[in-house]
Amino acid sequence: MADAVLQAIDLHAYYGKSHILRGVSLKVGRGEVVALLGRNGVGKSTTLKAVVGLVPLRGGRILLHDGLRARDLTALPPYARAVHGIGYVPEDRRVFPFLTVVENLRVGLDRMQRDSPARTAALERMWTLFPVLHEKAHVAGRLLSGGQQQMLAIARALVTAPRVLLLDEPSQGLGPLLAGMVMEVVQRLAADGLGILLVEQNASAALAISARCYVMDKGTIALAEEAAALRQDPARLQRLLGVA
C-alpha cells in the first residue's frame, strides 16, 4: 500500500439506538483508489459520512496523514475537515440547482481570494478535467444532465484542493458511456497523487480501477484484499456481495 493519507480507526456510529458502524477500520494511500463494497444497507455511505463528520462517532478516530505527521480530525466539524484536506461527493450530488456551473464551483473556492492565482488555476484545472463543464459554465445546475451534474459535484470538491476524496456511488443513474468517463476521471486523479475512497454499487467497475478493496457486511469490514484478487475470482465476489 502507498503511504497512508487517510486512516479510520475502529469507527462506531449509531442512528438512534441502531448500532450502524461496528468497529470499521480502513486506510487510503496517496495516489490510491480504494473501493468500499457491500450490499445495500451495510454501512458504506455511513462510513463516508462518519469520515467527513456528517455522522457523529461514539468511538474511533479519523487521522489525516501529512508526511510523518498524523492530524487527528475526530473532534472537528465537517467544514474544518474539508479545510484540512477531506473532499466529499455525496450520493445525491447536491448540486445547487439555481446556481450556474461556475457559481457552484465558486462555492468551493470561497476560502481563496477572489482574484488569487490559486483560484484561477483551480478553475482552469476543472475546465481541463471536465471540458463539458467549461462549455456549460453559465448554465444552471438544474439544467445539466445527470452525468454533467456528477462531474460538477466532483469538480466542486476538487477545487478545495483535497488530499483525499470520498466518492459515494459516482456512477449511479448514469449510462455506461458516462459512467466510464467518470471512472476514467477517478483514475486520472489518483495518477496525480490524490487518495480516493470509492463507494460503488457496480463492483466490477470499481475493482477495475482500484488497488485495494474493503467489503462491508452488517457494519463491519468483512474482508480487506487486493482488488486484483477479486477481479480474478468473480464467483467469490458474487458470494461476498450476494449479487449477480
pLDDT at 227 over 90: yes
The percent of residues in the chain predicted with pLDDT above 90, rounded, is: 70
Give bridge partners of residue 210 from the DSSP assignment. none
Q: What DSSP assignment string belongs to 103-138?
A: HHHHHHTTTS-TT-HHHHHHHHHHHHH-HHHHHTTT
- Of the two residues 121 and 154, the one the predictor is more confident about is 154
Residue 172: predicted pLDDT: 84
| 13-65 confidence digits (pLDDT tens) | 999 999 999 999 999 999 999 999 999 899 999 999 999 999 999 999 999 99
Cell of 117: 492565482
First to last CA, the chain: 29
Contact between 95 and 104 under an 8 Å Cβ cutoff? The reply is: yes
- Of the two residues 144 and 175, the one the predictor is more confident about is 144
DSSP state of 48: H
| 5-9, 100-104, 107-111, 213-217, range with the lowest pLDDT | 107-111
Residue 113: predicted pLDDT: 55
Distance CA 185, CA 170 (A): 11
Indicate the pLDDT class of residue 244, thresholds 50, 70 and 90: very low
Which pTM does this prediction carry? 0.91
Residue 2: predicted pLDDT: 64
What is the CATH superfamily name and number for domain 4-241? P-loop containing nucleotide triphosphate hydrolases (3.40.50.300)
